[in-house]
Amino acid sequence: MKKPIVAPSILASDFANLQSEVEMLNESAADWIHIDIMDGIFVPNISFGLPVTEAIHKHAEKPLDVHLMIENPENYVENFKKAGAASISVHYEACKHLHRNLQQIKALGCLAGVALNPHTNIDHLKDTIEEIDFVCLMSVNPGFGGQSFIENTYRKIEDLKQLIVDHGAHTLIEIDGGVNQKNAAQLIDAGADVLVAGSFVFNSSDPKSTISDLKNVMDHA
């Protein structure tokens, strides 16, 4: 079975020791570093922005996966590319012109992703799926870390996988929220390619070991 791409979410890290947290991820089996950008408008929380992303990039040896949970993302994607983003996801719910947004991100040389809130049906992506490098399915309501996983996500992954196959697309499926050792194997089995894990990684006694366990989850299933 395939090994998932593991993308620890820096939102759950110790911000007072951000450099050492990034260096820990560099030494780990993590593939990407997931960065949640929140504006307090699209989601009811504020995280951090360009200066912190730049600081992370200065020390990171893994690609930065920037998740824009913000209004009017088209106004900021170029600056996040300059700050070090390798992939950028925008929310379907925040984009009036999704196809244009995707083309904008691709033109910058980044992987272009679309994030869907738990209530948003994957059918909304049927006209753009071939343009999307990865879909980030929110398996919790966006805005806060440490929330409980929404069980309907498994069915949503299967439906999205079918949409991808039906259109002959090569889109990856990313799961963000409540991912842990208990549900990781089932997520991969349903069709997920990328696992974002925040609290589960950074609150563990041995984050590097936890990341390795997620990376090798199918070996232990």
**Mind listing the pLDDT tens digit for each residue in 22-76?**
999 999 999 999 999 999 999 999 999 999 999 999 999 999 999 999 999 999 9
What is the tally of structural domains in the chain? 1
Q: Are 76 and 99 in contact (CB under 8 A)?
A: no
Check pLDDT > 80 for residue 189. Answer: yes
pTM score, whole prediction: 0.96
Q: Which domain holds residue 98?
A: 5-220
Give all strands of the β-sheet with 134-138 in edge-to-edge order: 5-8, 194-197, 172-176, 134-138, 111-116, 85-91, 64-69, 33-38
- Which residues are identified as catalytic? 36, 176
For residue 66, which of 12, 111, 125 has the smallest C-alpha distance?
A: 111
Supply the pLDDT for residue 218: 66
- H helices within the chain, ranges in order? 18-27, 50-59, 77-82, 98-107, 153-166, 184-190, 199-202, 207-215, 217-220
CATH of residue 55's domain is 3.20.20.70
Q: Which residues pair with 181 in a beta bridge?
A: none
Residue 111 has pLDDT above 90, yes or no: yes
